[in-house]
Structure 1
Amino acid sequence: MTMLADDATAAAVLDSMPCYPVPPFGRSPVIEALRSSRVGHGLAIGKDGVMLILRRPWLALDVPIASPVAGYLPYGSIGAARAELRCGLVPHAFHDAILGHLLGKIPDEAAAFIRWNEATREFAVAYPDIDEATPTRLVYRMPRLPPDWHMVCDIHSHARGRAFFSATDDADDAHATKISIVFGRLDHPDGPTMAARLCAGGMFLSLPRGPFAGAPDAD
């Protein structure tokens, strides 16, 4: 077998993000195996672009990350984009409980996490240890995940401020796979606002709606 790199570390890095051409006809067992895997990620290259295929116990994601190559490629199509919560939508009761917690911390910012148990398929809320909380700043420690538990949503508030993702949020989310949510204007007469995005593969992907069952669309 021909090695992709003669340096062991470089070869390990390349192996961590495999790249597969899509056959022009028939099946690709290796791409199908990646798409059906419990955990994994890789790239599929086709005549119509490059697709990131990412799998976590709670998430199945196929997202185009590059336009078609200008030159001729004797490959097939990468297929349709896909984003599916394998864990299902988060029950609306968690939305209400978290909002109540965030509202109770006004005027300071606050945070919460939604975890999902792969074995029992149950959701749970966790609240972090806070090192510093002000109306414009929040420093907290991420909770440790017990076995079978996965982080699905990382949530924090902007108290009375608007919901948006700051440069600090971008740095914190850059290498994570999770749904990131910011709630703002918590005590506004018209109700709170929410900004949500999916963090995956070093990208921030917009969400057409929040991850909660029956919750309003994301801003």
Structure 2
Amino acid sequence: MTALLADDPTAAALLADVPCYPVPLHGGSPALDALRAARVGRGLAVGTDGVLLILRRPWLALDIPVTRPIAAHLPYGSVGGPKADLRCGFIPAGFLTSVLESLRAALPNESAAFILWNEASREFALDFPVIDEATPSRLVYRTPVLPPDWHMICDIHSHGTGPAFFSATDDADDAHATKISLVFGRLDQLDGPTRASRLCAGGMFLPLPRSPFAGDHHAA
């Protein structure tokens, strides 16, 4: 019989929400297979090569190492390599064009946009948020309340004519979200805007392996 991991109900619920599984040295792991195939879920795989965060959202399948290889001898197998797959597919290129047009139209002020995805119909949509304050150096906007089946894929804002970067305010806003964050700057330049991009997941800010927009070859 396996002993309980926690005797406190709240602690037990938290551990169940983010389970931790050792990787068997031989054969497969039905528990890890179920986590990887889940529509929504997160958990940790522990192997000789470290600890891997497995995170699933309807639009995202993410496997990312969170530790270095474990020095101690363990009778475990390998956790496998990292991956970040867009289950929703790449965002059609026209959405990027529309976003940039909107951000440029707001100059000299900063502005924002969201790209949403419908899990049932598999369609994308562009959403412009309610903006409470917009100046050339400050932006306060509201995250949309989404109806069933809709998910936020990208949270986008601009820095007007300034450089693209993630501020301390951005870090605080993104700390507990799972989304792609994009910042566009130098929107007044003829040779095109600059951008900063990252994947926010599991409390981490991860570099994007490539642009989420179809046909966009910008180095993410």
**TM-score of the two chains, using structure 1 as the length reference:** 0.98
* Mapped partners of 2:7, 2:33: distance in 1: 28
Deviations 1:101-143 (A, max 9, x none): 0000001110000000001100000011010001111111111
Shift of 1:53: 0.4
3-state SS of the aligned residue for 1:171? helix
Deviations 1:137-195 (A, max 9, x none): 11111111111000000000001011110110000000000000001101112110111
3-state SS of the aligned residue for 2:24? coil
2:143 maps to which residue?
142
* Mapped partners of 1:113, 1:217: distance in 2: 19
Q: Does 1:73 align with 2:71?
A: no
Contact 1:195–1:218 (8 Å) recurs in 2: no
1:176 maps to which residue?
177
Q: Does 1:93 align with 2:94?
A: yes
* Mapped partners of 2:160, 2:216: distance in 1: 19
Deviations 1:79-114 (A, max 9, x none): 121110000000000000000000000011100000
**Structure-to-structure mapping, 1:150-161, within 5 angstroms:** 150-161=151-162
3-state SS of the aligned residue for 1:180? strand
* Mapped partners of 1:50, 1:117: distance in 2: 32
2:32 maps to which residue?
31
Q: Does 1:21 align with 2:26?
A: no
Moved more, 3-12 or 198-207: 3-12
Unpaired segments ≥5 residues, structure 1 = none
2:56 maps to which residue?
55
2:85 maps to which residue?
84
Shift of 1:10: 1.3
| % same residue | 67
1:130 maps to which residue?
131
* Mapped partners of 2:24, 2:46: distance in 1: 9
* Mapped partners of 1:169, 1:218: distance in 2: 21
* Mapped partners of 1:218, 1:178: distance in 2: 18
Q: Does 1:162 align with 2:173?
A: no
3-state SS of the aligned residue for 2:28? coil
1:216 maps to which residue?
217
- Which residue identity does 1:129 align to in structure 2? V
- Which residue identity does 1:2 align to in structure 2? A
3-state SS of the aligned residue for 1:99? helix
Q: CA RMSD in A?
A: 0.9
- Which residue identity does 2:148 align to in structure 1? P
- Which residue identity does 1:201 align to in structure 2? G
**TM-score of the two chains, using structure 2 as the length reference:** 0.97
Report how many aligned residue pairs link the two structures: 219
Unpaired segments ≥5 residues, structure 2 = none
Shift of 1:216: 3.4
Shift of 1:209: 2.1
3-state SS of the aligned residue for 2:213? coil
